[in-house]
Amino acid sequence: MALSNVLHAPAAGFNFDHAARNAELEGLFDAQIPKPVKTGTTIAGVVFKDGVVLGADTRATSSEVVADKMCSKIHYIAPNIYCCGAGTAADTEKTTELLSSNLTIFSLNSGRNPRVVMAVNILQEMLYRYHGQIGASLILGGVDCTGNHLYTVGPYGSVNTMPYLAMGSGDLAALGILEDGYKPDLELDKAKELVRAAIHAGVMNDLASGNNIDICVLTRGGVDHIRPYQVSQYKDKRKTKYKYGAGTTAVLTEKVVPVKLEVVEETVQRMDTA
Amino acid sequence: MVVLKGYGMLRHSRTIMRTAHGRIIQRASKYRIVHDVDLYRMFRIENATQPDVRVFRTESARDGITMNSRGLRSQLKDSVPVAGLCPQGAYGIQDCLRSGFSSVKNELLPSHPLELSEKNFQPNKDKMNFSTLRNIQGLHAPLKLQMEYRAARQIQRLPFLPSSNLALDTLRGNDESIGFEDILCDPAQSEMMGEPHLMVEYNLGLL
């Protein structure tokens, strides 16, 4: 149906038509508005001798309710770059997907592996453009031809680089462990244990972080994404599926009766194939 | 002979010339000459934001050379379609569901913090890039680039059909990157269709 008040095609991108209406409705429906799913989370990263270790918990909350017990917060960006995301779950997902697509196009065009600084710059420009309305705090880690890198990008576009970083609601707890245990040029096992301990501190001391701990190890040789690295001790024992495997019940006797079918009626309908 | 001439608005490309005897000769002009007669109308159109259409109207030269002497600065929007002036709803009245009740506050400020900056993002970026280019390489560099942009912007389909803007995207470098404008609100999948005749008339400035 053609509308006579549409005089030009709508512009692509974000549409602000309803902003005024939403502002008017601000105080009216507070109780019934669905809260966005936040990853209210603990994420951390550490640079060690051969690469970068990233860690994250797996809880996604929707205000006071746990929305997802096994959500994946370590996102793939490029074969050599991974990103942990804290903040609004949808924002981190889509932003990292956009970033990954852009870097893939770049790799295909130039035939090179993307560098971590490229990812950081693209993210910074994108997040600054939207002035913090996209609530994504990200920790990017990767190994490229210039070395091992770890960066954090805030929702307003601020960038920080340090050998160890933590973000999310449990970052203070995690940072305490990191500050205490970090040494330059750690070995792989020590680095994994340090990140695990940091995320564990966040899980224990922050309400919005919990459940399992995921670890992702990036080195020159490849990526090791361990999901889960540590399972929560409060694991749910309920079954999600009530399907019993074959052999649960013992078979006592078996009788096979073939069913004979006889043709009762036959009708032919011609198809018009002209 | 008096030729009505003005600046700013692009109207239908005919000049009305009055000879010494008072006879009116109408002549299709090779140049789009603009009529600045009705200030209120001009003000009204100036404040109503029809960004892409205006660019299209200024840049597309169906039968002549366009004269937009103000360049990029004139394309920056300092307001968004606003409640009282030129209401966007049906039948020319305020659409309360979309734009809220009309009030002075509504009329003066954009309703979302990002609305204005998003509208102006591309022109601002171009302005910045061109001025940097001018400082580094001289005036010829932005001039040549802007000429190419104008040429590429004129490659459009009919107003009610979605144009791919392939040449423009290639010039801007948008063909090698994906942003929110490629994912959200794809005009090709818009649920609203405009009435084709009205859209063409609007584009030609007859509406």
pLDDT in tens, A191-205: 999 999 999 999 999
Answer yes or no: do A106 and B186 touch at CB < 8 A: no
Please state, in angstroms and rounded to a whole number, the distance separating the CA atoms of residues B198 and B207: 7
ipTM score assigned to the predicted complex: 0.74
Q: Which of A11-15, A56-60, A184-188, B93-97 has the lowest mean pLDDT?
A: B93-97
What percent of chain B is modeled with pLDDT above 90? 19
Q: Check CB contact under 8 Å for A7 and B207.
A: yes
A/B interface, count of CB pairs below 8 Å: 118
What is the Cα–Cα distance from B206 to A260, expressed in whole angstroms? Answer: 79
Task: Report whether pLDDT(B11) > 50.
Answer: no
- Asked if B186 reaches chain A (Cβ–Cβ under 8 Å), the answer is yes
Q: Cα(B17)–Cα(A129) distance, rounded to whole angstroms? A: 50
* Chain B residue whose CA is closest to A5: B90
A22-31, A141-150, B110-119, B175-184, range with greatest mean pLDDT:
A141-150
Buried b (16+ CB within 10 A) or exposed e, B21-54: eeeeeeeebeebbbbeeeeeebeebbbbbbbbbb
Read off the pLDDT of residues B26-45 as tens digits, 9 standing for 90 and up. Answer: 443 343 433 433 444 443 44
Is A92 catalytic? The answer is no
pLDDT for the residue numbered B96: 65
Give the predicted TM-score (pTM) of the model.
0.70
Q: How far apart are the first and last CA of chain A?
A: 36
- Per CB-CB distance under 8 Å, the chain A contacts of B203 are 8
Mean local confidence (pLDDT), B39-62: 44
Domains plus CATH for chain A?
A: 38-230 (3.60.20.10)
| Sign of the alpha-carbon torsion through B147, B153, B155, B159 | negative
The whole-number pLDDT of residue B67 equals 42
A4 touches chain B (CB under 8 A): yes
What integer pLDDT is reported at residue B158 of this predicted model? 86
Write the pLDDT tens digit of every residue in B125-164: 999 999 999 999 999 999 999 999 999 999 988 888 888 8
Query: How many angstroms separate the CA of residue A190 from the nearest CA in chain B?
Result: 39
SS3 A160: strand
Considering only the C-alpha atoms of chain B, give the largest distance between any 2 of them, rounded to a whole number of Å. Answer: 62
**B84 in reach of chain A (CB within 8 A):** no
The pLDDT of residue B28: 39
Amino acid residing at B106: N
Whether A19 and B112 lie within 8 Å, measured CB to CB: yes
* pLDDT tens column, A71-128: 999 999 999 999 999 999 999 999 999 999 999 999 999 999 999 999 999 999 999 9
Within chain A, residue ranges assigned H as helices are 19-24, 89-110, 116-129, 171-181, 188-205
Tell me, what amino acid is at A102?
Answer: N
Q: List the helix and strand counts (H, then E) for chain B.
A: 10, 4
